[in-house]
Amino acid sequence: MNHIIKKIENNEKLSFDEAVKLYDLDLFTLGKLANKIREEKFGRKVYFNINRHINPSNICKDVCKFCAFSAHRKNPNPYTLSIDECVEMAKEAYKKGAKEVHVVSAHNPEVGYDYYMNIVKEIKNELPDIHIKAFTAAEINFFSELSGKSYEAVLQDMIESGVDSMPGGGAEIFDEEIRNKICKGKVSSKNWLKIHELWHKFGRKSNATMLFGHIENRAHRIDHMIRLRELQEITGGFNAFIPLVYQTKNNYLKVDKFLTGVEILKTVAIARILLNNIPHIKAYWPTFTLNLALVAQEYGADDIDGTIQRESIQSSAGAASKNGLDMEELIYQIKDAGFIPVERDSLYNELKIYT
């Protein structure tokens, strides 16, 4: 293992096999290596933003086994918000200080292509200053199927409607055998990567996620991260990597044991080591819990997401994130953990440092 540690210290790229072996290191050693990279980049800063999640519909043509949000037997309460309702949510959030709205929906074929574009268009018309982060690659693949338009045409429509950046959802785990078991029919890993590459070629930024802690193994996680690293080498368009911890409730994946904190923190640390070309690693508190997300800041993460205000997708599966977090509480918790809270915008420009 010493040669692998030396390669990390010399900022040399690890191979797939070397990266898998990182899991054999003890947590303290991994954390020390990851934290050194993190502190060289950002010191003791922890980034957050003031944001609002808007989920326009939970009616979905796809049946992902890990999902508790979409309307099916486990969630018999289908809904679709009107465009006006989405706009009012954005306006209410903006009054409370939100700089970003994060718009992610189920794949509802009943409302039509224009519904999704008009949500963004109307929010932007009412709130030209707000940053709109909208539509995962899985949604874009669905929009393409729904409209018959190419990915490029859908992305161009998004830009013209007012989308500023893309979230990283829908990546799940890239291994196609696992995807076939947990989200058959959803966007393929190849097309997920293609959509983000095209978005980056438009000069726009996006995030990337990885859902872990279900039926995947460590090698699947490493494969996922290396594919992201390779695309980032080409485009440089990813702002942040977000490892999402699988939530166990109200879905059809029979996962008996929740991941240990050690396994989660090792995965965060490995992400920081492997993805040195992606600036930020986000410990997304709705899937980590706030306490573990703060601990993860010692293991390579530098971002904790934001206030959220209201969240429906992860909370449907058991996460304690339905009503978001109070900003003062978030700042207090970051300081209490020994870090410097930094409010950022959606593209990681620093807006305010809370010393």
* Extents of the domains making up the chain: 2-353
**Radius of gyration of the chain from its Cα atoms, rounded to whole angstroms:** 19
**Dihedral angle over CA of 157, 237, 311, 62, nearest 10:** 60
Among 24-33, 132-141, 249-258, which is the least confidently predicted range?
Answer: 249-258
Q: What is the mean pLDDT of residues 143-164?
A: 97
pLDDT at residue 66 above 80? no
Counting every residue written for the chain, the total comes to 355
Q: Are 344 and 350 in contact (CB under 8 A)?
A: yes
Confidence of residue 323 (pLDDT cuts 50, 70, 90): low
224-235 pLDDT, tens per residue?
999 999 999 999
269-295 pLDDT, tens per residue?
999 999 999 999 999 988 898 999 999
4-26 pLDDT, tens per residue?
999 999 999 999 999 999 999 99
Residue 126 to residue 147: CA distance in whole angstroms: 26
CATH assignment of 2-353, among 3.40.50.300, 1.10.10.10, 3.40.50.720, 3.20.20.70: 3.20.20.70
Sign of torsion over alpha carbons 85, 91, 97, 99: positive
pLDDT at residue 63 above 80? no
